[in-house]
Amino acid sequence: MGPYERRGGVTSAEQRDPSVCDVSFNREGRDEMTKASISLQDLRRRLYVKAKAETSWRFWGLSVHVCKLETLRAAYSLAEKNDGAPGSDGVTFGTIEAQGVDAFLVQIRDELVERTYVPLPSRRQEIPKDGGKVRVLSIPAIRDRVVQGALKLILEPIFEADFQPGSFGYRPKRTAHEAVNRVAKAIVQQKTRVIDIDLRSYLDPFSYCPLVFEAQSKSWP
């Protein structure tokens, strides 16, 4: 993945605070980061605190934490909790558990570390819509869901620090009911102006992000 720059600007090596990685910074600081022992929960907390305190901070070396078995196990647990149909390879959670979850995750970890990991083509499922139209749902393989989940676990606290208090969509520990309650409170406060925006066919195939499809043919990171 290499250095990850959250916003514009470059931070020199001398200015990078190692507190996120729990290492003393010196010339070997970058190498020491790969050896640092830190729990996933503590890492996510530190990433959030750092991102919240210094909005222009440049985070680097995050792929190390994405590739950790602890991160991959947490991502697998989240994917299993959500369940869902198998991807194009037909592999189910039952199949993985029968063959061994640890072996499954170690293989993913090795591919990520060796940079040989390549996402599988997503299985496409058509969902009927009004007017006889359909929305095509792309269903990734479980192995790809695990990698996506691992990336989310590491990147989420960095971007979460940027959200406004009134943002609710797809955020951790926030529900649609909380959003409705906030709207109700705003109405009581006579904040009655509503702006509704709907982008037509925004999620139709190839219309919203061609890079998603291009990325499937390239190795990570």
Determine the average pLDDT of the residues in 31-49: 73
Residue 115 has which token pair? 């940079």
Give 30's pLDDT tier (boundaries 50, 70, 90).
very low
pTM over 0.75: no
**For the segment 180-206, what is each residue's pLDDT rounded down to a tens digit?**
998 899 899 988 887 777 777 666 554
**For the segment 87-105, what is each residue's pLDDT rounded down to a tens digit?**
999 999 999 999 999 999 9
pLDDT computed for residue 209 by the predictor: 47
Listed ranges 80-84, 133-137, 143-147; the one with the highest mean pLDDT: 143-147
**For the segment 103-130, what is each residue's pLDDT rounded down to a tens digit?**
999 999 999 999 999 999 999 988 888 8
**For the segment 150-173, what is each residue's pLDDT rounded down to a tens digit?**
999 999 999 999 888 888 888 888
Say which residue the tokens 């620090």 belong to: 161
Contacts of 60 (CB under 8 A, 6+ apart): 2, 3, 4, 16, 30
